Structure 1
Amino acid sequence: MEQQTSGRRFFIVTLLNVIITFFELVGGLLSGSLALLSDAFHNFGDAFSVILSYVANKIGKRSPNSSNTYGYRRIEILTALLNSVLLIGVSIFLLIEAVRRLLHPQNVAGGIMFWVAVISFLANTLATLLLNHDSKHNLNIRATYLHLLSDALASIGVIISAGLIFFFKANWIDPLMTLLVSGYIIYESLPIVRQTFVILMEGAPKIDFDAVEQDLLQIPAIKGVHHCHAWQIDENQIVVSLHLNLEDLPLSQTEKIYTQVEQILKTKYQIAHVTIQAECDRGKGEKLFLTNQTDHQ
């Protein structure tokens, strides 16, 4: 029932964002406000992000198969990267246009800009309230909730700008607000681009590997740890493979050590999947990370 409720709320939030985008695009064109247009693109980006995330989440839940043995979770990483790159591209265009308008100010209809911004603020606030409850229990929903909250705050900035333009004819405030909103979007998007790039390049997650090695060496039968590889399937699932130097033990005893290693890595370091290769003397004394380029394991 909770999933159905969240699904309905996400649909309403997406619909609200589409409506806000339409009003702000029309209002921006009629009033000549670049700030409204930049906020419209921001809202469209949020709606686009919710739709893409929903589709990616559905695909990501597919079970692993012979074609994708780790499943389809990385589709959500690709979606996040695509959405962020698009937002940055639009924001750079708006930044350039804002600088041009600062150098050559244009008249802005402050009245139209004000009322459109008020409608946008009310709709964004409603969308934020709709997700407020679920955001306390779901990290993905909380991320969307925070985006919508930032939209509502941006709308307040546009309302203040519209008032200053209407009463004081300070048309330069409009491109200035555009610079602030577009700069904020880029500031929000760049960390996502960096994180998704690291995941797609199979960069190592932030783990204290020295501590991992020391924890595993506390197990009496383990004499060495080497050839460690760690990467992320998505932002939550960490995968590790490593080689262990063990005493010359029966397979039944080795499996017990595997269980101990998996327990340590999963409970202390939140590692979702562990692949272990047991060795007796092979690789003994080698470092945790192999720098030899011929290693492809």
Structure 2
Amino acid sequence: MSVNHDHNHTTSIKGKKLFFTILLNIFITVGQLIGGLISGSLALISDALHNFTDVISLVISYTADRMTKREQTLSHTFGYKRAEIIAAFINGVSLIIVSAYLAYQAAFRLITPEPIATNYVIWLSLVAIIGNGISVLILQKDAKDNLNMRSAYIHLFSDLIISVAVLIGGLMMHFFSIYWIDPLLTITISIYLFFLSLKIVVESVSILMLFSPKHLSILDIETAVCKFPKVKNMHHVHLWELNDKDIYLEAHLEFEEDITLSEFDAVCQSIEEMVRKDFNISHTMFQPEFFREDEKVLIIQD
């Protein structure tokens, strides 16, 4: 009972943090968009658009965080545990689209640079640095253990870096009238965003496609399982991540002897404790077999 309470308490704290960063980024987005339109700075507008995608991504992350609180039911036996992974995927894709659009727009501006009212760029980028810096600090701890929070954190951290770049560009334009630096910064920012978000997309797709975790070896797990008494082999294995916290393992276990059900339960309990401790596998499902004629290979082509 205490475990559920702690989990709900942690989820509630995460939700509050996300909600606060949503409000903060709405304020930053509106200010930068107005300032960008007045000053004519494409870099400032691009930062505002990226901030707007931050708001959308944070709303998605906040919604997903709330959905994970829902209980499992007969029609939703896994509950909504993958809501955060879907949110991370959407956030990553949105960043890739935005980065491509900004690079496209900046390419035209690079050919024909335009004068920019740099005062707006400097002051509004400073505001964005402060706002995004606060948001990054708020989400930093939760980003280490949660893919959804990490995608939101990367959105905000990238915005912090972008705002610093925009400030540097604003200062260079103000003191040296180097206006081509504005679209050049935008292109650089776009490339940075693309590769940053691609990692999130690849990681979330891997989980959604039920790929085995990269840090685990099925061969190592098989070796460890087959060391238990009376276990002849392990085959027909499936290993996947439900989300970025829960790893599932299911397999057929063939025994050397026709053991009783109680003996099988004892062996299973020992194996479950071992894979949880050594491989961080949280859920296991084993099917017992004795002298059954089927393929004894690790991966069966279903």
Q: Normalising by structure 2, what TM-score?
A: 0.88
CA contact (8 A) 2:50 2:98 kept: no
Using a 3 Å threshold, how does the CA distance of structure 1 residues 28 and 55 change in structure 2: closer, same or farther? same
Unaligned ranges ≥5, structure 2:
1-8
Identity of aligned residues (%): 36
How far did residue 7 of structure 1 move?
4.7
Hey, what's the Cα distance between the residues in 1 that align with 2:286 and 2:296?
A: 16
Pick the aligned partner of 1:272 from 252, 257, 282.
Answer: 282
> Secondary structure, in 3 states, of the residue corresponding to 2:95?
helix
* Equivalence map 1:214-233=2 (5 Å): 214-233=223-242
Equivalent in 28, 46, 58 of residue 38 of structure 1:
46
2:296 to 273, 286, 290: 286
How large is the Cα RMSD of the aligned pairs? 2.3
- Helix, strand or coil: the match of 1:114? helix
**Residues 15 and 237 from structure 1, CA distance in 2 versus in 1: closer, same or farther, beyond 3 angstroms?**
same
Q: C-alpha displacement at 1:136, in angstroms? A: 8.9
Between stretches 35-44 and 247-256, larger displacement belongs to 35-44
Pair 135,273 (structure 1): closer, same or farther in 2 beyond 3 Å: closer
Inter-CA distance 285–146: structure 2 relative to 1 (3 Å threshold) = closer
CA-CA distance at 1:20 after TM superposition: 0.6
TM-score, normalisation: structure 1: 0.89
Q: Letter of the aligned partner of 1:248 in structure 2?
A: D
Work out the CA distance in 1 between the residues paired with 2:277 and 2:192: 37
SS at structure 2 position matched to 1:121: helix
Residue equivalent to 2:251: 242
Q: Any conservation in 2 of the 1:38–1:182 contact (CA below 8 Å)?
A: no
* CA spacing shift, 1:129–1:269, aligned 2, 3 Å: closer
Q: Distance in 2 between matches of 1:217 and 1:108?
A: 70
Work out the number of aligned pairs and report it.
291
What letter corresponds to residue 167 of structure 2 in structure 1?
I
Query: Which residue, 54, 79, 98 being the options, matches 2:87?
Result: 79
Change (3 A) 1:129 1:211: closer
The one of 127, 144, 150 equivalent to 1:119 is 127
Shift of 1:174: 0.4
Look up the equivalent residue of 2:274 and give its one-letter code. I
- Counting only pairs closer than 5 Å after superposition, residues 147-166 of structure 1 correspond to structure 2 as 147-166=155-174
Deviation of 1:113 (Å): 1.3
Q: Which moved more, 1:277-286 or 1:30-39?
A: 277-286
Q: Which runs of 5+ in 1 are unaligned?
A: none
* Amino acid across the alignment from 1:240: L
Tell me the CA shift for residue 149 of structure 1.
3.7
Contact 2:151 2:200 in 1 (8 A): no
Which of 77, 91, 102 aligns to 1:69? It is 77
Contact 1:56/1:76 (8 A) holds in 2: yes
1:52 aligns with 2:60: yes
Q: What SS does the aligned partner of 1:127 have?
A: helix
Q: Distance in 2 between matches of 1:129 and 1:63?
A: 31
Amino acid at match of 1:243: H
Q: How far is the alpha carbon of 1:41 from its aligned partner?
A: 2.1
Q: 1:138 to 1:269 in 2, by over 3 A?
A: closer
Q: Return the match for 1:256 from 260, 266, 276.
A: 266
